[in-house]
Amino acid sequence: MKSPRASHRGKIAVLLPIVALALAGCSRGEAVEAGTETAAFDDPVTVTNCDRTQTFEASPQRIVTMNDHVTEVLLEMGVGDRIVGMGYADAEPLPELADEWNEITGLAEEYPTAEQILDLDADLVVGGMRSAFDEKAGRSRDALEEKGIATFLFSEYCGDGFPSVDLLVEDYRQLGEILGVPDEATAVSDRVTSGLDDFRTRLDGVTPVPTFFFDSGMNDVLTIGGVGVGQLIADHAGAENIFAEGDRPYSKTTWEVIGERAPEAIVVLDYGSETAQQKIDFLKTQPIMATTPAVQADRFVVVPLDDFFESPRLLTSVETIATALHPERMQD
């Protein structure tokens, strides 16, 4: 069974100070396999990610991916042969990536330990969430970089949220430069931006449907805020997030406030040991929710949490929600 993503509930980290780090591409191992030459850059590549500046003399050859959506993104960029280990190894990959995915060593159901990363002689660790670089677990970005291991964090969790898809485009551009595959990285981000443009065109002029995004909680309710990928998905799917004022990707609320805002649709995020149907059954019996237009109309949309991160999968979420809320516009 897929392990719960409890870590995505954490608060967004305070921005880290700029750290200049000169990293040789071979600092923790010459290459993935003996005899494989590491491709040095003609000129060093410098990127600033989450206010942290790093310089690469060569393209990393031994990568650890900490989240499943990160693994998929790097596979789509064509560098799967450089991934020496991955976290969230029990996740279900996209079918078209399954063969490559299965060739990668799975390190843990959730995050690998700092010791595992060191044992793999990694030269780059890429995380998709703040929790990937947990200081208490000894794998903070500072701690890894002190060992000569470069790090990269998808910017949704840098602290400023996800104001537009431009953030994804810049993250992918930087990864493409670091990994020496700029054209492949651009192709992945172009697929996302063109897909979002298509949905915007198809839904032009529709009236957004007031929507409650239910993550979890029986008492303290967790929903999406107004600054994460969830808000981007809502905007492109013709859904009016009733908690768009939230200043974090996820925020807590109460049943009373939800009831006052009278959602006309509910998007249920599917993950963990509690099934989407169990969440729906609970919402139908919750006294306040039972009075809302969404529950009375039985208007529920189920979206896997895996499709709610900074990856091309977000297009699937947009399509699923838009089809449910505006079927007349989504017909081929």
Rounded distance, CA 307 to CA 133, Å? 22
Sign of the torsion formed by the C-alpha atoms of 206, 215, 233 and 53: positive
Q: Which helix H or strand E contains 52, and what residues bound it? A: strand 52-58
Rounded distance, CA 241 to CA 220, Å? 18
Order across the sheet with 300-304: list the strands: 239-241, 209-214, 265-270, 300-304
Write the single-letter amino acid at 206.
V
Q: Could you give the percent of the chain with pLDDT greater than 90?
A: 81
Residue 331 burial class via C-beta count within 10 angstroms: exposed 0-12, middle 13-18, buried 19 and up: exposed
16 phi and psi, to 5 degrees? Answer: -80, 150
Asked if pLDDT for residue 23 goes beyond 50, the answer is no
For the segment 33-64, what is each residue's pLDDT rounded down to a tens digit?
Answer: 433 446 799 999 999 999 999 999 999 999 99
- Are 304 and 276 a contacting pair, CB within 8 Å? no
Asked if pLDDT for residue 2 goes beyond 50, the answer is no
Across residues 196-214, what is the average pLDDT? 97
Chain centroid to CA 79: how far?
18
Q: What is the end-to-end Cα distance of the chain in Å, rounded?
A: 35
For the segment 225-240, what is each residue's pLDDT rounded down to a tens digit?
Answer: 998 899 999 999 999 9
Across residues 124-145, what is the average pLDDT? 96
What does DSSP say about strands 239-241 and 124-127: parallel, antiparallel, or unpaired? unpaired
Average pLDDT, the chain: 89
Q: Determine the pLDDT at residue 227.
A: 87
Across residues 184-189, what is the average pLDDT? 98
Rounded distance, CA 93 to CA 65, Å? 14
* Cβ neighbours around 258 below 10 Å, total: 23
| 26-30, 69-73, 236-240, 243-247: range with lowest mean pLDDT | 26-30
Rounded distance, CA 307 to CA 251, Å? 19
If one compares 183 and 1, the residue with the highest pLDDT of the two is 183
Q: Which two tokens stand for residue 233?
A: 């998905």
| 40-49, 210-219, 241-250, 271-280: range with lowest mean pLDDT | 241-250
Asked if pLDDT for residue 197 goes beyond 90, the answer is yes
For the segment 136-173, what is each residue's pLDDT rounded down to a tens digit?
Answer: 999 999 999 999 999 999 998 887 778 889 999 999 99
Reduced to 3 states (helix: H, G, I; strand: E, B; else coil), residue 278 is: helix
Q: Which two tokens stand for residue 91?
A: 């996740």
Q: Determine the pLDDT at residue 10.
A: 37
Asked if pLDDT for residue 28 goes beyond 50, the answer is no
Q: Determine the pLDDT at residue 247.
A: 82
What does DSSP say about strands 150-153 and 124-127: parallel, antiparallel, or unpaired? parallel
Asked if pLDDT for residue 254 goes beyond 90, the answer is yes
Give start and end residues of each alpha helix (H) in 135-292: 141-146, 166-179, 182-202, 229-237, 255-261, 276-285
Q: Determine the pLDDT at residue 143.
A: 97
Q: Which residues make beta-bridge pairs with 49?
A: 52
Domains of the chain and CATH, by start:
42-195 (3.40.50.1980), 205-327 (3.40.50.1980)
Closest listed residue to residue 175, CA positions, set 42, 310, 308? 310
Residue 332 confidence class, pLDDT cut points 50, 70, 90: low
Residue 18 confidence class, pLDDT cut points 50, 70, 90: very low
